[in-house]
Amino acid sequence: MKKLWTAIVVSLVAAVAMVCSASAADTPEKGAEKPKSHMCTGEIVKISADCIVVKNRNGEQTIAMNDATKFGSKDDPKKCADFKVGDKVSVAFKEDGDKKCAIAVRTPRPPKKPEEKK
């Protein structure tokens, strides 16, 4: 009976150790950096279901889009089809190696008007 209890305890300890090591592997290290998001604002040169090309003062940037890409904002939701060549847009994206992946495509906010002095 003593050997049975020992085997059960050893099995439980091994199971707990496996679960802890698996969850530790999924957790990023404290010093690890998350990929930074970037912004590209300009005029649409080309747009399709899987990519957008935006031209700004730095030239043209090609940014891939996927099912996770969001369009518009909470106040003004849109679809990919709502954007067309010539529209001004702001694209938030992350770099994945040498590929740029769009997070969100929005119409840029109009500049704030300076308040008039009394």
Q: Which of 29, 34, 44 is nearest to 85 (CA)?
A: 44
Task: Give the contacts of 82 (CB within 8 A, at least 6 positions apart).
Answer: 71, 72
Q: Name residue 3's amino acid.
A: K
Number of folded domains that form the chain: 1
What domain range includes position 77?
37-106
Q: What is the mean pLDDT of the chain?
A: 82
Confidence of residue 81 (pLDDT cuts 50, 70, 90): very high
Question: Which ranges of 27-110 would DSSP assign to H, the alpha helix?
Answer: none
CATH code at position 86: 2.40.50.320
The answer to the question of residue 4 being in a domain is no
The answer to the question of residue 32 being in a domain is no
Strands (E), 29-78: 37-47, 51-56, 59-64, 70-71
In the predicted structure, residue 68 carries a pLDDT above the cut 90: yes
d(CA 95, CA 2): 58
Confidence of residue 62 (pLDDT cuts 50, 70, 90): very high
